[in-house]
Structure 1
Amino acid sequence: MPRHSAPLSGGSNNPRNNPRHQQRPAPRHGGQPGSSAPLPPSAGGAVSRGANEGLGAAAAAEAAVRAAREQRAAQAQRAAQQEAAAARRRAAASGPLDVDPSQPSGAPTQPQYGSRYQQQGGYDGYASAAGPRVMAPGAAGAVVSPYADQDRYKKKSNKKKAGIVSLVLLALLVVGGGVGAYLYLNPPTFNVTVNGMTRTVSQGTSPADIVADGVVSPKAGNLLAVDGAVLEEGGGTAFSGTINGNEITDPKTALHKGDTVQIVDGTDVTEEYDVEVIETEPGRAELGEGAIHVYVPGEKGKTEKRTGKVSGTVVEEVVTPVQNNVYLQYNANPGDEKVVALTFDDGPWDTTSELLDVLAENGAKATFFTIGRQIADQPKTMKKMVEAGHQIATHSWDHASAGDGRGVDMTRQTPEEQIEEVQKGQQAIADATGAEASKAFRSPGGNYHGDIIWNLQPYVTSEIGWNVDTEDWRRPGVDAIAQRIESAKSGDIILMHDGGGPRSQTIEALRIALPYLREQGFKFVTIDELLAYDDAKAIAQSLEEAQGQ
């Protein structure tokens, strides 16, 4: 910290700041009123010498004051050091130091910035007046140290030690409890029940250990060849059994307290073998009788040819029995429901739209087997069929007119002509409706036997016959047609025509018969809805099994 000297009495040391040393400036123009006359040269020199003499005297006075101040500061420092030494001697004789421990030995107390600090000439002046800081004397006159209250520190130390001991004890209790719980759940020895007998076993004991210790003596199974012949007695599993009712898959499974173990004789094991898989293509079968004719796809059979690695024996074993492609014929069985399927052939025709109105009046759905080449001429009728929710399937492209079909019998056509009749008929439906045609099919004249069955299998899922033939194509009269419709039983398929000629008799017969059937509780369904009542695959399997017996 820089030292500050007290100003000299009578003004500043700087002659510029001392009014006594400043000269009044000479007037710039002599002779002006109120101005002083210029000094002669001799007078100017005298003034200059007087000023220099005044400056020298001031410097000497300041040096004297500074020396006196430094002397007082040195004396004060020596006095403080002596006092501090005396305090240390007293403290050594009677107890802790009486000097404030926050101050270094022999150092004066830090001065506070204030008027006395300034008046005494900075730090040096303050140090000469400030004495050492000491603690207030006690009752006996001794200086009290801040560390004199030893009991307080002893109490804090004892509390800390007690807390540590408590934590250690708590940790020991937790560890001890965990060990106890583990030993309770996993005792070193415990009881199990083996074949109805209570046995005490050690931890880690397995069923294999029980057998090895002779607690039970099961008989091992044999090693067998692929044909079942015994290759090695006792070469199978050593034993088999259960633990708490669960099969023993690993003989070295560790047992637990309270387990119930049942150990019995071992099982036979077949030797390892090489396998060659032989596939069998499905055959064809025509089964059953009825108006519904559906295809039940077959499945390839799989047979394994096994060659034993030990014995060299070769055997063949059927893994998956072959299932034939079945052309199944049956009648629908709707159970307790009363349903009939109305079907119409040879349309669409000019009168088909009127027939659709009669069906709508009676809430009846039907299936239309259409002639493909006639569809393009009846776009409105086809749209009306679709919007009413009827099923649309093909009845061939031109009613078997190509080749030797003679307009009624597709069985006389070549396989290519048969396929073309179906595919073109289905495409005409798709073009008119914008949707894929039904895969149901009705062959012209109901002629569907022989090779045509398998020729068309990839293209149709069913060929639909009928249970009731109204013979409306003969136009026998309205009453005759109506009576035949009313004779239908639940599950029957009724054959009618909406094309191929005038169909006014059929339309009028429907006006009579449909209300009657509704009164009898019948519901009118499409062919697909009728097929859904039965499990064709289950029927086919049942018939095949019956044939095999």
Structure 2
Amino acid sequence: MKDKSEKGDSPQAEAYPENVETLVIPGSHKRNKTGIIVAIFCVLVSALAALSVWFWWNNYRKFSVQVNNIAVQVTGKQSLSDVLTEHQDFNKKPGKLLSLSGKTLESKGGAPISVRQNGTSISAEQLGSTYLHEHDSLIVQNGKDVSEKHKVHEKDIPFSTSITTGGAIQFVEQQGKTGKQEYWVGDRSGEQVDKTVTVQPTELKINSLSPKPPADKKVIALTFDDGPSNFTAPILDILKSKGAKATFFDIGKQSAEMPQMERQILADGNQVASHSNSHPDLTTLGRDSLRTELETGFNAINTASNTKSRMLRAPYGAFNKQCWTDAADMVSSNIIWTTDTLDWKKPGEQEIKDQVLKHAYSGAIVLMHDGGGDRTEDVNVLPSIIDSLHAQGYELVTVDDLIKMDGRFPKWVANNEVAPQAN
């Protein structure tokens, strides 16, 4: 008989035979998987809902911004460019493209409208990528006008000329100097507009004085025009014999023909100066012709006499403001006269003498002629004129002498040189 305590004899053993596999039903696992799927779905739905809300909030929700201190409704998806387009740039306009003189070349060719977002400037290139946020503040303004591009040039500014007349000796007190000025030429319009003065011009100042010798001097200068000629030699002989000096304003062409006479004038202690080259009215000449006439005359006399002089007596005494403007760098002085004998009219020897003595005073400059016609009257009356002046105590000197003893003339005038260039 088996012991009931053995395993095989237990009631459980009888209920679950050893050769029968135990079956486990997985119902609880299915329920767990379903729960997970539902949870994930719910999360996805919630996330999608949240994303939708976020997307709507940031793109389609309308909110208020201030544009030029006025509330404007916008959405988050609108760029600044969109807002400006929707509101026609808030009635602001781009600037104009202007010519250098301010004429409109293009009504919208200037700078675009300007936009500041919360105080920060937004460039035109940034408008399409810049978005608005609630409570943003925008300032939209008209674009600025812009001038056309241009090229920079420089030009001369002519110097002005002032002239003080009244004295018998005209001279350069201060040389003129050309200034410089910048000017612009528009690329589109071609307009020319003056701009900055880079170098100020210096005024040419012409002064004039009548010789004023020292009180202890009693001097007169006799002057002879239009030579040299066949009448010059006898006049030189008279001057030399009387111990007198004179100044000869000679024509360049005639000096070139009679160089020995020019040298004799100087050898006798007299002065030679220019009366132009061909005796034109210098005031009728243009700048180039004037300068050529003067330079040719000076050169002819200098070559003939082997001396340098820049003293001039203009034909007819005519050397006006324009002449000085055109040739002040060539002329030391222009010598007029205080006494005109009118000898060229052939008034008679006594009339010529009377004119000299009637207007005699210390520092006088007497006009006579040794050329340009028949000067027999001058030759015949000259000894009597000199004797009469000597009898009155006058010494007959050159124009150079009058200038040097005066003391009021600039050193370049006293040295018969052109004035130095202005600084």
TM-score by length of 2: 0.51
Specify the structure having the higher radius of gyration (Cα): 1
Q: Give the deviation of 1:379 after TM superposition.
A: 3.0
Equivalent position SS for 1:357: helix
Q: Give the deviation of 1:419 after TM superposition.
A: 0.8
1:330 has 2:209 as partner: yes
1:496 has 2:373 as partner: no
Match of 2:301 in 1: 429
- Matched residues in 1 for 2:329 and 2:176: separation? 15
1:354 has 2:227 as partner: no
Q: Give the deviation of 1:446 after TM superposition.
A: 1.2
Equivalent position SS for 1:376: helix
- Cα deviation per residue 1:6-42 (whole Å; 9 max; x = unaligned)? xxxxxxxxxxxxxxxxxxxxxxxxxxxxxxxxxxxxx
Q: Give the deviation of 1:354 after TM superposition.
A: 0.3
Match of 2:352 in 1: 481
- Matched residues in 2 for 1:348 and 1:536: separation? 29
- Matched residues in 2 for 1:322 and 1:377: separation? 42
Match of 2:174 in 1: 297
Q: Kindly tell me the number of residue pairs found equivalent between the two proteins.
A: 230
1:519 has 2:410 as partner: no
1:457 has 2:328 as partner: yes
- Matched residues in 2 for 1:322 and 1:470: separation? 42
- Cα deviation per residue 1:493-524 (whole Å; 9 max; x = unaligned)? 10000001111101122111101111111111
Equivalent positions of 1:190-339 (< 5 A) are 283-298=160-175, 324-336=203-215, 337-339=217-219
- Matched residues in 1 for 2:294 and 2:382: separation? 29
Say whether the 8 Å CA contact 1:369–1:394 is kept in structure 2.
yes
Q: Give the deviation of 1:484 after TM superposition.
A: 1.2
Higher relative contact order (CA 8 A, sep 6+): 2
Say whether the 8 Å CA contact 2:160–2:176 is kept in structure 1.
no
Equivalent position SS for 2:164: strand
Q: Unmatched 5+ residue regions in structure 2?
A: 1-156, 178-199, 412-423
- Matched residues in 2 for 1:360 and 1:288: separation? 35
Amino acid at match of 1:326: K
Match of 2:18 in 1: none
Say whether the 8 Å CA contact 2:161–2:321 is kept in structure 1.
no
- Matched residues in 1 for 2:310 and 2:330: separation? 7
Change in Cα spacing, 1:415 to 1:299, as seen in structure 2 (3 Å) is closer
Say whether the 8 Å CA contact 2:276–2:297 is kept in structure 1.
yes
- Matched residues in 1 for 2:384 and 2:220: separation? 16
Root mean square deviation, CA, Å: 2.3
TM-score by length of 1: 0.40
Say whether the 8 Å CA contact 2:220–2:364 is kept in structure 1.
yes
Say whether the 8 Å CA contact 1:411–1:450 is kept in structure 2.
no
Equivalent position SS for 1:521: coil
Say whether the 8 Å CA contact 1:395–1:443 is kept in structure 2.
yes
Match of 1:365 in 2: 245
From 254, 257, 272, the counterpart of 1:392: 272
Equivalent position SS for 2:383: helix
Q: Give the deviation of 1:450 after TM superposition.
A: 3.0
Change in Cα spacing, 1:344 to 1:323, as seen in structure 2 (3 Å) is same
Equivalent positions of 1:79-118 (< 5 A) are none
Change in Cα spacing, 1:282 to 1:424, as seen in structure 2 (3 Å) is closer
- Matched residues in 2 for 1:362 and 1:291: separation? 26
Match of 1:467 in 2: 338
Say whether the 8 Å CA contact 2:161–2:176 is kept in structure 1.
no
Say whether the 8 Å CA contact 1:282–1:298 is kept in structure 2.
no
Match of 1:271 in 2: none
- Matched residues in 2 for 1:453 and 1:355: separation? 32
Equivalent position SS for 1:528: helix
Q: Give the deviation of 1:281 after TM superposition.
A: 9.9
Say whether the 8 Å CA contact 1:328–1:536 is kept in structure 2.
no
Change in Cα spacing, 1:372 to 1:281, as seen in structure 2 (3 Å) is closer
- Cα deviation per residue 1:418-467 (whole Å; 9 max; x = unaligned)? 1111111111112212222x111011111111311211101011001000
From 398, 409, 413, the counterpart of 1:536: 409
- Cα deviation per residue 1:79-104 (whole Å; 9 max; x = unaligned)? xxxxxxxxxxxxxxxxxxxxxxxxxx
From 285, 291, 301, the counterpart of 1:419: 291
- Cα deviation per residue 1:238-275 (whole Å; 9 max; x = unaligned)? xxxxxxxxxxxxxxxxxxxxxxxxxxxxxxxxxxxxxx
